[in-house]
Homo-oligomer: A and B are copies of this chain.
Amino acid sequence: MMQKAVIAAIDWGTSSFRFWLLDQAGLPLAEVRSDQGMASLRPEDYGPVLEEALNKSSAPLNMPVLICGMAGSAQGWQSAPYVDLPANLSKLHEAACKIDDIDRDVRILPGLAQRMPERPDVMRGEETLLLGATLAQGVEERTVCLPGTHSKWAQISEGEVKGFGTSMTGEIFSLLATSSTLSHFTEVHQEVAKDPHFVEAVAEGLSSPGDLMQKLFSVRAGPLLFGQQVAEGATARLSGLLIGTEIAAFGKKHEEILLVAAGKLSEAYATALDVAGIKFQQVDAEVLIRAGLRYAASSIWPERFSQ
């Protein structure tokens, strides 16, 4: 049986552009990746970037396009208003917005908003990944951890997102590791998951999350007082303190969570969840985001998935 592309699917984030041509089953037949994310684009740049990717991947004419992520924010291509919680993931597509300024059927999925005055929160892109998790992993009742620049922890119940929280873990790590008085001792691209200082620091973050701002200074004071050996573990220590503190705030024992990540980040969180004694199942984010985009597209353009 010949595979045939029925849809173009894009995860268009702050700093990345990930484009796939998908067949009816959601399998990727072509892929284009770049760093042409929202942060580097004006609204009028999105159309040409999209058309270039369609050309590069030899997409058939009139291919419809479904986008998720920051391209749908007020600073993106066109604003796709948030869907409020509790959010039924299987109906995300009903709030998709059609792009006005392009001669092609292009739609952007909405983000989610938690409009609680005491815990306001927003996400864009992760909702599509959560939709994918309910489909690919059969997640009906689960806490999902999506680590990153802004880690998201979402509670899914009965196929709805009931609540979520954001931890600025990755961004704070990056600021401290590159632009602070700690950065003399840290390297951003170091592998941390196997460093014993990482495990030790995760445990410290877990046991006293309220002491984070104090513990962070030990990343500097330790090497000053105890020398080079400690400096080598400084990046691992910084990362461990932050991730341990994050898990203390969001993780719950006696529940298996779904960890959605890849590469080094995935290893670090897997190690940290082990230290915390939290069971988890690990899945790759891109598989889930394609599953989410495929499902939403099949609801928007059912005729393309039924031929």
Contact = CB atoms under 8 A, between A and B. Distances in A.
A43 interface: no
A155 to B, nearest CB: 14
A222 B118 CA distance: 9
A179 B168 contact: no
A226 B171 contact: no
B213 A167 contact: yes
Contacts of A180: 168, 171, 175
B218 A168 contact: no
Interface in A115-171: 115, 117, 119-122, 150, 165-169, 171
A166 B217 CA distance: 6
Contacts of A211: 209, 249
Contact of A121 (B172, B209, B213, B221): B221
A248 interface: yes
A246 interface: yes
Nearest to A223: B120
Contacts of A165: 214
A120 B212 contact: no
Contacts of A175: 175-176, 179-180
A120 B218 contact: yes
A171 B219 CA distance: 14
Given A117-B226, A171-B181, A122 B214 contact: no
Interface string A228-265: 00000000000000100110111000000000000000
Max count, chain B CB within 10 A of own CB: residue among A179, A209, A211: A211
The 10 closest A-B pairs by CB, nearest first: A209-B210, A166-B217, A120-B221, A167-B213, A120-B222, A175-B175, A210-B210, A121-B221, A120-B225, A122-B221
Interface of A: 82, 113-115, 117, 119-122, 150, 165-169, 171-172, 175-176, 179-181, 209-214, 216-218, 221-222, 224-226, 242, 245-246, 248-250
Given A115-B225, A117-B226, 5 more contacts: A121-B218, A150-B217, A168-B181, A168-B217, A209-B209
22 contacts: A82-B225, A113-B225, A115-B225, A117-B226, A119-B218, A120-B222, A120-B224, A121-B218, A122-B221, A122-B224, A150-B181, A165-B214, A166-B214, A166-B217, A167-B214, A168-B213, A168-B217, A175-B176, A179-B179, A209-B211, A212-B213, A213-B242
